[in-house]
Amino acid sequence: MIKPSILPGFMELLPEDQMLFNKVKDTIRKNYEKFGFIPLDTPVMEKSEVLLAKGGGETEKQIYRFSKGDTDISLRFDLTVPLARYVSQHSNDIAFPFRRYQIGKVYRGERNQKGRFREFYQCDIDIIGNEKLSIMYDAEIPSVIYSIFKELNFGDFVIRINNRKVLNGFFKSLDIEDVSEILRIIDKIDKIGADAVKEEITALGVSADIVEKIMSFIALEGNNDSIIEGLKALKIENEAFTEGIAELEAVTNHIKYFGVPEENFAIDLKIARGLDYYTGTVYETILKDYPSIGSVCSGGRYDNLAGYYTNQKLPGVGISIGLTRLFYQLREANLIKTDGNSTPAKILVIPMDDDTSYSIEVSKTLRTAGIECEVYFEKGKLNKKLNYANKLGIPYVILIGSDEVETGKLTFKDMKKGEQSKLTVEEIINQY
């Protein structure tokens, strides 16, 4: 006998949580489709030479890689590399801008720790242009984020927006070449505070007056218009900087037409989102009731998606939701709760004697009317059968004995209220 168990670092849910997880996943999917994103479903495993074309990097150690026969295979560790491969492989068959969504599992053999998973869902959208891509798509992305998190109802949230050109231009103007270390320090400001950031940057050997300039730059606050004005007032003569401001202005000016309320998005000059990938707009999404979990939806603009596979220049903008981790964190924090349903069934039909034919016909009528239901066929005491409905959180029960068969008046029980009434199938369907 083998003890049934799964690998450590993998998430597997009981029915009640699975129902909730699927509800969240379906909401994300529905909203992606509402914005006309095209579903994609690439293989979970790919040729290692293709998937690892970029090579190196921190993720490479974590990749599930193995051989089968002569083939060197890796499991995908994100949905971006497969997208790059797909777009360059099929560029003649797809229309640009190519708007795709993919919701699928990816694999990373991370160190085993609470809240980190080795198999997890990513829910990605990207808009890929052929040679160029309008900045207006950067303004559209926050409206997708907004419509999802509004519907998910995890409480107040804010989409933080920045532009890498503004950051790069600013640091270039200070003659700082390697901005990555400084950005990494700034990224921690919410956790360690402004003073500690100042100290750490100073410790890098940056002169006091430049540290002051950096600190006052990232301290630029207020509403979006005043931050833009503040940036312009710096009068920095740098092409990237100027371009970055123009982009940031265009994006924030147009987001509102998409219906995103002012309180749900804000320029934040402190965010950078990774160091070598994004080249323009960047996004983070923070749940106000639970900022400690960090960004729940991030992304940005990149100059070139698929340089490893094609000479065609493919700029894009996109975001990703790491659903498995997010779900785990929200459940831990009690920020989402199940509604007690462990099944899609809304009605349980219980035959009270051996002749089940009428019960079956009732279930058929309910399904035809679009009501998810099932018949409980096992024998046993009524209590056991009602317990089944309770355990699964099925809200209504129909009891059918010989009386019900004769009169067509069914015993309809509301499991939450404990109320019981006599109704015909049609009355049940209408009332439902």
Q: Give dist(CA 118, CA 173) in Å, integer.
A: 42
Q: Is 374 in the site for a copy of itself (CB under 8 A)?
A: yes
Does 312 help bind a copy of itself (rule: CB under 8 A)? no
Tokens coding 399: 């009891």
Longest dimension (CA), the chain: 92
Closest CA to 282 of 295, 290, 291, 273: 273
CA 41 – CA 100 distance, rounded (Å): 10
Euclidean distance between CA atoms 305 and 323, whole angstroms: 23
Q: Determine which residue in the list 191, 232, 379, 422 makes contact with a copy of itself, applying CB under 8 A.
A: 379
Binding site listing for L-histidine: 78-80, 108, 122, 126, 273, 277-278
**Do 163 and 343 form a contact (C-beta atoms < 8 A)?**
no
**β partners of residue 45:** 75
Locate 110 and state its tokens: 């991370």
One character per residue 334-373, x = contact with a copy of itself (rule: CB under 8 A):
--------xxxx--x-------xxx-xx-xx--xx-x-xx
Q: Which amino acid is at 91?
A: S
Q: Which of 28, 128, 174, 392 binds a copy of itself (CB under 8 A)?
A: 392
332 contacts a copy of itself (rule: CB under 8 A): no
- Shortest distance, position 232 Cβ to a copy of itself, whole Å: 22
Q: Shortest gap between Cβ of 278 and a copy of itself (angstroms)?
A: 20
When binding is defined by CB under 8 A, the residue of 229, 230, 274, 308 that contacts a copy of itself is: 308
Cβ 124 to a copy of itself, closest distance in Å? 15
Specify whether the CB–CB gap between 290 and 251 falls below 8 A.
no
Tell how strand 65-68 and strand 45-47 pair up.
unpaired
Q: Is 288 in the site for a copy of itself (CB under 8 A)?
A: no
CB-nearer residue toward a copy of itself: 66 or 212: 66
304 lines the binding site for a copy of itself (CB under 8 A): no
Q: Which of 24, 128, 133, 282 binds a copy of itself (CB under 8 A)?
A: 133
| Cα-based angle 291, 180, 325 (whole degrees, multiple of 5) | 35
Strands 38-39 and 98-107: parallel
**Alpha-carbon distance 424 to 407, whole Å?**
9
Could you say which of 28, 123, 126, 143 contacts a copy of itself (CB under 8 A)?
A: 143
Binding flag, residue 249, a copy of itself (CB under 8 A): no
Binders in 201-240 for a copy of itself, by CB under 8 A:
none
**Is residue 330 near a copy of itself by the rule CB under 8 A?**
no
Q: Please identify, using beta-carbon distances, which residue of 87 and 227 lies nearer to a copy of itself.
A: 87
The DSSP element (H or E) to which 161 belongs, if any, is strand 157-163
Q: Which of 57, 60, 115, 136 binds a copy of itself (CB under 8 A)?
A: 136
DSSP-derived 3-state class of residue 394? coil
* The only residue of 113, 153, 311, 334 in contact with a copy of itself, by rule CB under 8 A: 311
Is 113 among the residues that bind a copy of itself (CB under 8 A)?
no
For residues 34 to 53, the per-residue mask of contacts with a copy of itself, x marking binding by CB under 8 A and - elsewhere, is xxxxxxxxxxxxxx-xx--x
Q: Where are the beta strands (DSSP E) in 210-345?
A: 265-267, 281-287, 298-302, 316-322
Is there binding between residue 432 and a copy of itself (CB under 8 A)?
A: no
Question: Does 419 contact a copy of itself by CB under 8 A?
Answer: no
Strand, helix or coil for residue 413: strand
For 157, half-sphere exposure in the C-beta direction (CA atoms, 13 angstrom radius) is 26
70 lies in the site for a copy of itself, by CB under 8 A: no
56 binds a copy of itself (CB under 8 A): no
CB of residue 26 vs a copy of itself: minimum separation in angstroms?
A: 10
